[in-house]
Amino acid sequence: MGVPQNGIFAFGTSAHGYFELDLAPGAVAADVVAAVADHLLSETSMQAVNLVAGFRPELWATVAPGRMPAEVTGFTEPVVGPDGFTLPATQHDIGVWISGPAPDAVFDGGVEIVTALAGKAVLVAETMGWSYHRDYDLTGFIDGTENPKQSEAPSRVLVAPGEPGAGGSVLLLQQWAHETADWMSLGVTDQEAVIGRTKADSVELDDRPATSHAARTDQDEYGTILRRNTAYGTVLDHGTMFVGFSATRSTLHAMLRSMAGLDGPRDALTRYTRPLTGAYYFVPSVDDLGVVATPDR
């Protein structure tokens, strides 16, 4: 298997930054991809933080044909449920996730990547995130309960050996705003019905509602993903950065369609959270980044 970008599995960090960039006018795609690869593979850069970078699937496929799973495409159209609930498509060319021990380290890492891509790509969106009580979502529930064990995660969410893009992964990056006042007005029992798990210890309810988040994103039905979500924002404006990795785009997109109510009832959690963005990025292996990097850099 190709060696994955190690930041995908680097747990324990408390500060996070999410940076999305578009190619600058007149920029050559191969030069931009090479600049990102050079930065990630640098021995001296980003030592204080973990950096994960992905590309709009169509961009990566153009620069590295044969190193992209065939079914992976960008988030080019919104997902619209039968009642009009919409998961927006806000696809960009490059997605970068930086995690580290403190906000200043993440900030410095963001400045580094933007500087490295000056004249080649333009920063168009950024969000700073943070861990909420280590493993919790802002709803007060434990997040990522169904994540595969860390020892098993690479074999579950990376493209398999021998396949195009082996060792890479598909990243779904979304920003979800929380309607906290509405959520907090619910009692614990009602909140548990929305999530489909107990709040105290994240045990799945025996009689979970079909509308529960656990039911609408059941990995036994849709496939395995690795959630690396964090909180973002302030008391006035806050929510969740969804950071989901999978070996296939279809797994992630099937969950989104399910949440929107396209193959059953709409996910009850979407009554209390609003998706603001949505993009897919292919996160190549370190081996494939080496292929597109500047020779003798």
> In this predicted model, what pLDDT tens digit does every residue of 82-107 receive, in sequence order?
999 999 999 999 999 999 999 999 99
Task: State the pLDDT at residue 169.
Answer: 98
Extract the residue ranges of the chain whose pLDDT is less than 50.
45
Residues pairing with 282 in the sheet: 55, 170
Task: State the pLDDT at residue 65.
Answer: 93
143 is catalytic: yes
Task: State the pLDDT at residue 188.
Answer: 98
Question: Among 143, 190, 220, 287, which one carries the catalytic annotation?
Answer: 143
Least Cα distance to 36 among 90, 91, 96, 92 occurs for 96
**How is the chain split into domains, by residue range?**
6-292
- Give pTM, 2 decimals: 0.97
Residues pairing with 121 in the sheet: 23
SS3 of 129-161: EECECCCECCCCCECCCCCCCCCCHHHHHCCCC
Least Cα distance to 289 among 5, 32, 37 occurs for 37
Q: Which residues contact 201 (CB under 8 A, 6 or more apart)?
A: 142
Which residue is it, tokens 């598909």?
170
Task: State the pLDDT at residue 45.
Answer: 46
The tens digit of pLDDT for each residue in 125-146 reads 999 999 999 999 999 999 999 9
Helices in 117-260 by DSSP H: which ranges? 153-157, 180-184, 188-195, 213-216, 219-222, 249-260
CA dihedral (267, 273, 277, 279) in degrees, to 10, reads -40
d(CA 160, CA 235): 42
Task: State the pLDDT at residue 43.
Answer: 56
